[in-house]
Amino acid sequence: MKLKLIALGHNQPGWVDDAVADYSKRFPPEWPFELAELKPEKRAANRSTEVVLAAEAERIRAQIPRQALTIALDERGEQLTTRALAERLQGWAREAPSAAFVIGSADGLDADFKTSAHFRLGLSKLTLPHGLARIFVVEQLYRAISLLSGHPYHRD
């Protein structure tokens, strides 16, 4: 199953890019990982947050591979253990050829986009900066796949 992280936001600190790049190259060939970084829409006094998020959602949809499952990262989404994430990935791999995990901009994700997602995943009850959320997602995906393949990276 191909895994894609679509993240709004650009110009992340070097340590964020370095960490994501480090984990990205660890994925096995049967679970390839890709990051798509999108520039957020410009905020302006004459554009409501809803209009901005809807425009971002259209650009996000254009990045989602055909027949991919969409997993929206949302603070109100379901929180999983690493083992539960691994089980979900295993199940999703039977349903679709790829999965797209989506991190929204500073204002989050469009409400319709979240509703249409196949799954809403909450990373934490804490507020995370976008750079840390990226690292968190890629590390947990790697950890879950390591668990599925019997690699000793994960320890319960």
Phi, psi of 91 (to 5 degrees): -65, -45
70 found inside a domain: yes
Domain assignment present for 155: no
**Rounded-to-integer distance, Cα 32 and Cα 144, Å:** 13
In the predicted structure, residue 154 carries a pLDDT above the cut 70: no
Whether pLDDT at 15 is above 90: yes
Candidates 127, 72, 126, 78; CA nearest to 104 is 72
Residue 116 lies inside a defined structural domain of this protein: yes
- Is residue 78 within 8 A of residue 121, CB to CB? The reply is yes
Asked, for residue 29, whether it belongs to a domain, the answer is yes
Whichever domain contains 134, its CATH number is 3.40.1280.10
CA distances from 82 to 16, 21, 62, 97 (A): 21, 21, 29, 21
pLDDT in tens, 52-109: 999 999 999 999 999 999 999 999 999 999 999 999 999 999 999 999 999 999 999 9
Q: C-alpha angle with apex 139: 52 to 23, nearest 5 degrees?
A: 100
50 inside domain: yes
For residue 35, being part of any structural domain is answered with yes
Between 63 and 154, the more confident residue is: 63
Domains identified in the chain, total number = 1
On whether residue 156 sits in a domain, the answer given is: no
User: What pLDDT is stored for residue 127 in this prediction?
Assistant: 86
Q: Compute the mean pLDDT over every residue in the chain, rounded to the nearest whole number.
A: 94
State which residues form the domain around 63.
2-149
Q: What pLDDT, on the 0 to 100 scale, is given for residue 10? A: 82
- pLDDT exceeds cutoff 90 at 37: yes
